[in-house]
Amino acid sequence: MNAEGLAVVTGASRGIGRAVAMELAARGFDTVATMRDPADGAGLSGMRVERLDVTDPSTIRLPDDLRVLVNNAGVETDNLPVEFMAAESWRKLFETNVFGLVEVTRRAVPLMRAGGGGVVCNITSSSTLAPVPFLGTYRASKAAVTAIGESLAAEVAQFGIRVIEVMPGPIETDMLATSDQPAAAIEHAEYRALAEKMWEGRQGIRDSYTSAPEAARRIVDAICDDDGPLRYGCDPLSEGDRQRQVGARDAAVVLVITGLAHTALHVADVAIIGVDGVVATREALEERGVGFLVEGVADLAGLRTTWFADPWENVFILLEKVSRAARAYYRQY
């Protein structure tokens, strides 16, 4: 995608959203930074600032010539154990992080379709890639967006609309600073020791925080990357987590096609195998002849005779040879 046309960013009053709006404008997009209170957009130049509250449909007005939508608006809540998280907290968080995002997106799709295509960029979280205690509510909302994005990508590719997901790790924002304290779970005796351990671990990654402008640069790079995958990181920690997850999925594809389904389930813990979020059954692959390609590579790598001797070594030897071809195949569907 060339850096031109109209881009809308939700939740652009601060943090990642504000930085992304500034980066889009700097690259040449006609940018609209939206937020609940436009007064919070003071200081933003080279773009329009408009009111948009994703939880209030009456404020959602998207331009007809929309090319890029960045779904960044989101909230978090107290980091509590699931048993202590009130139902109202779940509803409040999902109202913004999921239902609000869906409402904006469903209005954007027909506009992009009429304009010949575009990009929907969903900002989620790399926390969904690991079982982080006390983030169940937040992670569940972001995981819902992941699932929605996968289905949406399959639905709208035919219209020239790309859907991507960016999964930030620790980015230096107001939201991160606000959460830079022990989880609220520490107030519950049953979970105090675990909360203390989590807080201690957080101290060790402070030197790995990424600035919001750098994260925004990577996000806009992803938006402009027509041949890229469904998912991206925007900092070293999230990109490392994402690559490890993609590696497991690629390994599962290789193993299932070569007939070692039980080992694939152990590696990826899935029955339907995915690469970069797009899924297909073994039968669907074989119908298109992809099984022969990957099975041939597996034979060359000696998988059938050496797999059980050192499984992970064999997986990553195969990944190096197969992942590029596998991703190129999946992007067609």
Residue 316: C-alpha distances to residues 105, 244, 250, 328 (Å): 37, 11, 9, 18
- Tens place of pLDDT per residue across the chain (333 aa): 898 999 999 999 999 999 999 999 999 999 999 999 999 999 999 999 999 999 999 999 999 999 999 999 999 988 999 999 999 999 999 999 999 999 999 999 999 999 999 999 999 998 888 888 999 999 999 999 999 999 999 999 999 999 999 999 878 777 666 667 788 999 999 999 988 988 787 776 666 788 899 999 999 999 999 988 899 988 887 776 555 555 444 444 444 444 333 333 333 322 233 333 333 444 544 454 444 334 433 443 343 333 334 433 444 444 444 444 444 444 443
Q: Within 13 Å and on the Cβ side, how many CA atoms surround 287? A: 5
Residue 242: C-alpha distances to residues 1, 128, 239, 272 (Å): 23, 10, 5, 19
- DSSP H helical ranges for the chain: 15-27, 87-94, 101-114, 136-156, 174-178, 192-203, 212-224, 236-257, 261-268, 282-287, 290-300, 303-306, 311-330
Give residue-wise pLDDT tens across range 209-223.
Answer: 888 999 999 999 999
* Pick from 166, 171, 213, 181: nearest CA to 79: 181
**Per annotation, catalytic residue among 138, 232, 329, 330:** 138
CATH of domain 6-234: 3.40.50.720
Where exactly are the structural domains of the chain? 6-234, 240-330
pTM given for the model? 0.73
Evaluate whether 62 touches 9 at the Cβ level (below 8 Å): no
pLDDT at position 179 is: 66
Give residue-wise pLDDT tens across range 227-248.
Answer: 888 999 888 877 765 555 554 4
CA angle 167–171–172, rounded 5-degree value: 165
CA distance 209 to 203: 11
Average pLDDT over all residues of the chain: 78
- For residue 275, the cross-strand partners are 278
Residue 255: C-alpha distances to residues 249, 252, 267, 320 (Å): 10, 5, 9, 14
Active site residue 138: yes
